[in-house]
Amino acid sequence: MRYLTLAAAPLALAACGSRADEARGVDHNETLLSVSATGQAESRPDRAQFSAGIETFSARAKTASEANGEKIAEIVVALREFGIEEKDIQTQAVGVRRVEWGDRKGQYQATNVLEVTMQDPGRAGEAIAAVSEAGANILDGPSLSMTDPESTANLAYADAYEAAMSRAKAYADAAGMEVSRVLYIRDAGGQQGQTWLRGAEAMNDAMVQRSAPVVPPPPIALGPVPKGGASMMVGTTRSMVHIQVDFALRPK
C-alpha cells in the first residue's frame, strides 16, 4: 500500500504499511490521497429583519409606560397595514427605568422595541418609513439573510466535492493511476457555520449520479426616515465551505 498526501509543497509518494493507514480502508495495492478543497455558492437573501420601537419620558413611571403602550400600538397597526403578519412582529425589549443623568434626570423612561421580519427584503425601506411616520424613534437595521441558508451551503459543499474530485483525478493521472473510491470526507467548516456531511459514501453516490431571552441594549435612536423609504439593494449572499477528502488510487 502506498500513501499520497497533498499539501502546499509538491506530491509525496511513499510506501506505507502501517495499521493506521490500513484502518482507513486502503488496500495493499492502493495509494491514499488526501485533498483539501473549497466550494462556493451564491443566493439572493429572501428575508429582512429590523428593529423599531419607541421611548417615552414622564415624571411618573406609570404615565411613561402608558404613553409608550399607546405609541407602540400605533406602530404595530402601521406594520399590520403595511402587510406584515402578526407572527413576524416580536417584542425584543421592554422596560421602564429612572433616568439618573442628563437633562431628564429624575424622570422615567419607558422603552418598547419590536423585531420585525419581512419576507420581501426589497420593501424593508418602505416598512421602516411607515413605522417612522407612525412615531417610532428607535430604529435599527435592516439586516438581510436567507430563510434556508443550509440549501446554499449544500450547493457549496457539492462545489467543493467536485473540486476535490477534479484535483484527485489530475494527481492520479500525473502518477499514472486512477481514482478507485472515496474513503472519507471531513467537514472543515465555512461561513455558514458547522455543517455535518451525511457520510462519504452517500455523498460519493450522489455526485456520481450527477457526475426567557436576555434583553439586548436599546438600539441607537435615529432621525426621521424620508417618506417612501430608502431604496433597498438586496444583492447576493455567498456561502463558502472547506472539506478534506481521502481518495484511494489504484494503478491503471
pLDDT class of 236 with cuts at 50, 70, 90: confident
Dihedral-angle region of residue 229 (phi above 0 means left; psi in -120 to 50 means alpha; beta otherwise):
left
Cβ neighbours of 192 (radius 10 Å): 20
What pLDDT score does 32 carry?
95
Asked if pLDDT for residue 59 goes beyond 50, the answer is yes
Asked if pLDDT for residue 193 goes beyond 60, the answer is no
Helical H runs in the chain? 19-22, 61-82, 124-133, 149-174, 200-210
Residue 125 neighbours by CB under 8 Å, 6+ apart? 142, 225, 229, 230, 231, 232
Query: Pick from 49, 91, 53, 47: which is nearest to 222 by CA?
Result: 53
What pLDDT score does 18 carry?
47
Residue-wise pLDDT for 154-174, tens only, equals: 999 999 999 999 999 999 999
Is the pTM for the entire model greater than 0.75? no
CA distances from 52 to 4, 48, 49, 71, 108 (A): 58, 13, 10, 12, 20
Task: List 141's β-bridge partners, or say none.
Answer: none
Task: Report the percent of the chain where pLDDT is more than 90.
Answer: 63
Domains parsed from the chain with CATH numbers: 2-42+149-211+239-251 (3.30.110), 47-145 (3.30.70.2970)
